Structure 1
């Protein structure tokens, strides 16, 4: 599927019911934190968004992942999609995704064609309800990392998430009391796990249909 075909497919497919939990659970760490899938998220949760933005390469479709810097926080050093929390000035969650991507990797928000959204995903460890927003750009962006929030930008071939050999498992030691049997995508020699892997899993389900 080339870039133009992908846009046509996703614009239509994202209008219809999504696989949601069925896709998320395939890449959810074990034991599964059932709070992720409770239809009633905590009353005082925080809202956030990430942007999955596709752009054309020479013979493939790409999207940017980012590597977070090491810091004192639950997502330290992890591979993620550009995004962050909703600010009071944001008009809606799509505005949040575009603003955060522009701040973190210098995506020109005005050049992004919004195609739709994937299923919201609750992240218990940070109390965020994250909305994955799907967009497309028709040229190769000039990415620039925001040095305080982004250690590295990783242009990623879309085909990679459909390659079964890139789906692996490992045991991650979260702290002294907790180890997780963790499915992950092996991308750029990095372990892409947790919410990011679950979001990519839902995208992979849709692409497999196309």
Structure 2
């Protein structure tokens, strides 16, 4: 088997070369000609208007530095939630007024959702801002995580915490493009099936971004 990320790789340096610096401001400006990813990547007609406000949010893309190879922490959202129930996501959420920037939001939300100690996370950069049709502007913050942690799901939001090998996620041969109809309109999305888990939508789109950056030499 050929590993995309070998034990000899300096993963932190590879990420720093490929990632964006984390925005200093809580809500980065969405310039009309700026590079923004989102649900509209595969559905251009559904692109949200960029001249209207977005709700700032951030997620943590937690890469665990395990001896046998790096993994990524993901969560399954609680099934009783009114939005995105049961979906696979990175830990994170909307920004609070007290958050200084996207890093603060991502680390706070992650600690609240899965009890990951922020002191175990080394932030190395961010992915491209991801906007959703529900008008959230999400900053994906990438962090390297020391493996000596004990996680606990916040039952009101998270039903399950699991890890997926980083090699599996960034391998483009594991990525699919699926479609379905919503209100009579066909919509397309990225998906990464992993065992019983169906990683799709915004989470799969962010992973695609990570894959493209991490494979840079």
Shorter-chain TM-score: what band?
A: 0.7 to 0.9
Change in CA separation of 1:3 and 1:177 when aligned onto 2, cut-off 3 Å? farther
SS of corresponding position for 2:158? coil
Query: Quick check: which one's helix share is greater?
Result: 1
Summarize the alignment of residues 22-171 of structure 1 with structure 2, pairs less than 5 Å apart: 24=37, 28-30=41-43, 33-35=46-48, 40-43=50-53, 45-71=54-80, 73-125=82-134, 127-171=135-179
| 1:197 counterpart = 2:204 | yes
Computed over aligned residues only, the root mean square deviation of the Cα atoms, in angstroms, reads: 2.6
Change in CA separation of 1:97 and 1:25 when aligned onto 2, cut-off 3 Å? closer
| Aligned-residue offset at 1:140 | 3.8
Question: Residues of 2 paired with 1:34 and 1:26: CA distance?
Answer: 8
Does the CA-based 8 Å contact 1:166-1:185 persist in structure 2?
yes
TM-score (normalizing by structure 2): 0.81
Q: Structure 2: 5+ residue runs without aligned partners?
A: 22-34
Change in CA separation of 1:58 and 1:27 when aligned onto 2, cut-off 3 Å? farther
TM-score (normalizing by structure 1): 0.83
SS of corresponding position for 1:64? strand
Question: Residues of 2 paired with 1:155 and 1:42: CA distance?
Answer: 36
| Aligned-residue offset at 1:9 | 1.5
| Aligned-residue offset at 1:149 | 0.5
Q: How many equivalent pairs are there?
A: 200
SS of corresponding position for 1:52? strand
SS of corresponding position for 2:140? strand
Q: Structure 1: 5+ residue runs without aligned partners?
A: none
Which whole-Å deviations, capped at 9, do the CAs of 1:112-160 have from their partners, x for residues lacking one? 11101111111122x2100000111222421211111001112111001
